[in-house]
């Protein structure tokens, strides 16, 4: 028999639910399960969906089970290829293993979200019940705005021989997967947000969860059962976004002070227009000269040196590997600027959306390659 299971939360953590369906080999539905879970994370909801699906399969007399889920984390952990480090996941995994032991055979398969629509619908119905809101007009996935089948794959670490031939780059590059944090109240109002430590909004948490899901389905971010390093700015909005990634990959979050956002000084909390009205001459000079700092803040030249130092330290520690860096708009633009060997005007001409993904590789011989910029296809 086939078990299809899913789970999600609107906020991660947030109002959550799971869905599971048991089908025979002809696709006939034998059992359905759905349940609201209160406030938990996506991963907890996904495991609960698996547990419910296995229990339902046992109830209808299954002897062998093919489990199909769109959670890369659950499939890889239950298959024994990824380690289970998160304390919230360990007892759920043990419960699932106990149920699986009652069958002659259980196999786990990752499928795109579009192929898991039945369980996904049940999970959304459970979340609708938890929030008291109707399902109409909501995204068609369980806290996952876009079906994975519609998403382009991120560039892999496999050598691009044509690109290397054109650049002459030598050695194994250090790949930096750059993720901007999700929405905050400051970003929603388009205000300068530097060192102010504001958390993600509910939408921001949903954006972070969607990006995390995208990364969890990407090759090369878990190696020999271990997630690649996940390094975040020390501010709350980036740490929350990074934690969503760590939960999805089964890793842990480190912080690096060099990845923190620009200090906008007295302009913190102001809009562009308000800062220009407050300090018209200085604001105009700041836009045209990267050495000019905001009043009481730091210039983009200072940010550039700080981020370069952070990059060099991370490459020294993790050279030739892949890292996920969760940061802010200016540090990410700065890393892309280094990859392009471009001038400071790039900071004003390059747009980066919230929760967007970019990729840059730095080779040991000094060459670099920007592989992706401002990918938001995982967001609705």
Residue 274, exposed/middle/buried by CB under 10 A (0-12, 13-18, 19+)? middle
Angle between helices 42-59 and 202-216 (to 10 degrees): 60
For 174, the 3-state DSSP assignment is strand
Distance CA 282, CA 275 (A): 9
Q: Residues, the chain, total?
A: 380
Question: Looking at 181, 283, 304, 378, which residue is catalytic?
Answer: 181
DSSP 72: H
For 150, the 3-state DSSP assignment is helix
Our answer to whether residue 304 is catalytic in this structure is: no
Angle between helices 42-59 and 236-249 (to 10 degrees): 30
CA dihedral for 226, 228, 229, 234, sign (positive or negative) = negative
Element (H, E) at 18: strand 14-23
Question: Looking at 261, 268, 298, 361, which residue is catalytic?
Answer: 261
Element (H, E) at 36: strand 29-40
Distance CA 65, CA 321 (A): 37
CA dihedral for 334, 339, 344, 348, sign (positive or negative) = negative
189, 269 in Cβ contact below 8 A?
Answer: no
204, 181 in Cβ contact below 8 A?
Answer: yes
Our answer to whether residue 261 is catalytic in this structure is: yes
39, 130 in Cβ contact below 8 A?
Answer: no
- Beta-carbon contacts of residue 65 (< 8 Å; ≥ 6 apart): 1, 2, 3, 54, 57, 100, 103, 105, 106, 107
337, 301 in Cβ contact below 8 A?
Answer: no
Q: Which residues are catalytic?
A: 181, 261
């Amino acid at each position: 028999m086939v078990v299809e299971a899913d789970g999600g939360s609107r906020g991660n953590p947030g109002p959550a639910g799971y869905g599971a369906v048991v089908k025979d080999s002809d696709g006939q539905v034998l059992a359905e399960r759905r349940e609201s879970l209160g406030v938990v994370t996506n991963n907890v909801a996904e495991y609960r969906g698996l547990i419910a699906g296995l229990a339902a399969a046992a109830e209808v007399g299954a002897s062998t089970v093919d489990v199909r889920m769109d959670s890369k984390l659950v499939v890889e952990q239950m298959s024994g290829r990824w380690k289970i480090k998160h304390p919230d996941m360990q007892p759920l995994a043990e419960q699932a293993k106990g149920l699986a032991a009652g069958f002659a055979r259980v196999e786990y398969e990752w499928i795109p979200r579009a192929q898991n629509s039945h369980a996904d619908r049940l999970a959304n119905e459970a979340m609708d019940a938890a929030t008291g809101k109707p399902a109409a007009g909501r995204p068609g996935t369980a806290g996952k705005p876009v079906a994975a089948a519609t998403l382009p794959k991120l560039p892999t670490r496999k050598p691009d021989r044509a690109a290397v031939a054109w650049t002459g780059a030598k050695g194994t590059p250090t790949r930096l997967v750059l993720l901007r944090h999700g929405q905050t109240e400051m970003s929603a109002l388009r205000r300068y947000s530097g060192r102010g430590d504001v958390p993600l909004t509910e939408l921001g948490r949903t954006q972070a969860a969607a990006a995390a899901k995208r990364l969890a389905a990407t090759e090369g971010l878990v190696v020999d059962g271990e997630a690649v390093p996940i390094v975040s700015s020390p501010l709350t909005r980036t740490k929350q976004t990074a934690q969503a990634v760590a939960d999805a990959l089964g890793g842990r979050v480190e912080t690096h002070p060099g990845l923190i956002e620009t200090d906008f000084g007295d302009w913190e909390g102001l809009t562009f227009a308000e800062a220009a009205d407050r300090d018209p001459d200085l604001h105009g000079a700041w836009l045209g000269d990267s050495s000019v700092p905001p009043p009481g803040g730091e210039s983009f030249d200072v940010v550039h040196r700080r981020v370069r130092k952070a990059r060099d330290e991370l490459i020294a520690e993790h050279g030739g590997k892949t890292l996920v860096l969760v940061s802010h708009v200016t540090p990410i633009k700065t890393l892309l600027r280094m990859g392009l060997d471009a001038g400071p005007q790039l900071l004003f001409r390059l747009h980066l959306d919230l929760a967007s993904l970019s990729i840059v590789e730095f080779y040991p011989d000094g060459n670099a390659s920007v592989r992706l910029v401002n990918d938001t296809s995982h967001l609705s």
